Structure 1
Amino acid sequence: MKAGLVVDNEYIYGEEKHLTVLKTSLFFANDGYTVYDCNGQLIFRVDSYGPDPRDKGEVVLMDAHGRCLLTVRKKRPSLHHRWEGYLGERSEGQKPVFSVKRSSIIGRCAMTVEVFNNPGEEYLIEGNFGQRSCTIFNAGKESVAEIKRKVDASTNVVLGKDVFLLSLKPGFDGAFAMGLVLVLDQINGDDYVENDEADMSPTAQDNVL
């Protein structure tokens, strides 16, 4: 398996790719998302998992046609807020393909990602998801994806946090990256730190994921 491929080869691009991630409802925390490319083509969707979901600790990422690509599920009990990702629709006894957990309970906040179906492949997520400012680094400390605020090209105005960019470097699995977004969203909900003056640096000591 080549580095960067975790979920689906279809979502690995030969050049840098910018996806627009849109929250589909603003009434409840964690209602779902739709994800589009720069041409407005639907790439991913996540149906509502708001006030009365099937399982509040499980979220399913689908392609544009409703095919289940990935299920992310909270592992219980888990001291470090560990989440696991499963290919397709998770079934009993199925082994996860990756896990995400806090790198430490106290100290600098960051998330570590371990990939099981590509042994030795690890990633680190640093930044502030509540402010839509995160970077995903590979084991070589190279940036492979970024979550950042979206700017309206016509007005040069920064849009609200319900719409943001997921930027992928060439060779990195976009479905995997979106799975990590879902994990971050589940951990954070919509309890954003409403402080636009906060330090947005990916390695800031006081950032909260």
Structure 2
Amino acid sequence: MIPIISKLYCSSSQVVFVVRKRPHVVSGGGFVVTNCSQNVVFRVDGCGVLGIKGELVLRDGDGGALLLIRRKAGMVEALSLHKKWKGYTFDYEGSQKVVFTLKEPLSHPCPCVPRNNAIKISTEPSGSCFEVKGYFPDRDCTIVDSTNNVIAQIAVRKEVEELMSSKDLYQVLVKPGVDQAFVFGIIAVLDYIHGESTRC
């Protein structure tokens, strides 16, 4: 698989990460991603930190910005069947470059409009397509590629589920060769869409 954000985040083996939501009252919300050694690999800042609705930042373990994610709004969204999110990377001069577009289906009141609840993602410039299957708030979903191969799986850790009913701690399994930063960019948007830690 071609890296979408950076080849630094593509592993030759399967990797399991743990996601922990940050409380709004303490640090403005968002979440932290750790590896099996409990080192912070990614951090996501939502509008509680940034102060801007519909905007998220994926950072590396040292706090450097990897990805800026924005929801497109306005007249175009009002006429569309989807809400669009765009993920941007920064080049060495600081310019933004679109690397993916995520389409979130709108809940349409008109019965004449067909309902397709799938969340679809396309990458640029490669044009690769992905889809989210399952239900994120239950921590039971997968991200699949255009041939239906699972590239990442989101699930509640069994030992956590036994101790508490909270979904504030869950695991993400990322398949070999998959850009982990891209996966957590998608998860950041899913978190926001469902009104969780990244949303004000």
TM-score, length basis structure 1: 0.78
In structure 2, the residue matched to 1:128 is: 135
1:70 partner letter: L
CA contact (8 A) 2:46 2:57 kept: no
SS, match of residue 177 in structure 2: coil
Mapped partners of 1:4, 1:54: distance in 2: 33
SS at match of 1:141: coil
1:26 shift after superposition: 5.2
Q: Would you say the 8 A contact 2:46–2:56 is kept in 1?
A: no
Contact 1:6 1:117 in 2 (8 A): no
Identity of counterpart residues, as a percentage?
A: 29
Q: What corresponds to 1:98 in structure 2?
A: 100
Unaligned runs of 5+ in 2: 108-113
The equivalent of 2:59 in structure 1 is 62
Cα shift at 1:58: 0.9
Q: 1:180 matched to which residue of 2?
A: 186
Unaligned stretches of 5+ residues in structure 1: 192-209
User: Is 1:81 the equivalent of 2:78?
Assistant: no
CA RMSD of aligned residues (A): 2.7
Residue 158 to residue 12, structure 1, CA distance change in 2 (3 Å): farther
Task: Tell me if structure 2 keeps the 8 A contact 1:75–1:84.
Answer: yes
Secondary structure of the 1:82 match is strand
Q: Give me the whole-angstrom Cα distance separating, in 1, the residues matched to 2:98 and 2:174.
A: 23
What is the alpha-carbon distance in structure 1 between the residues aligned to residue 37 and residue 162 of structure 2? 19
**Alpha-carbon distance in structure 1 between the residues aligned to 2:7 and 2:106:** 32
Give the match for residue 53 of structure 1: 50
How far off is 1:165 after superposition?
0.9
Match of 1:143 among 146, 150, 173: 150
Q: Distance in 2 between matches of 1:48 and 1:76?
A: 17
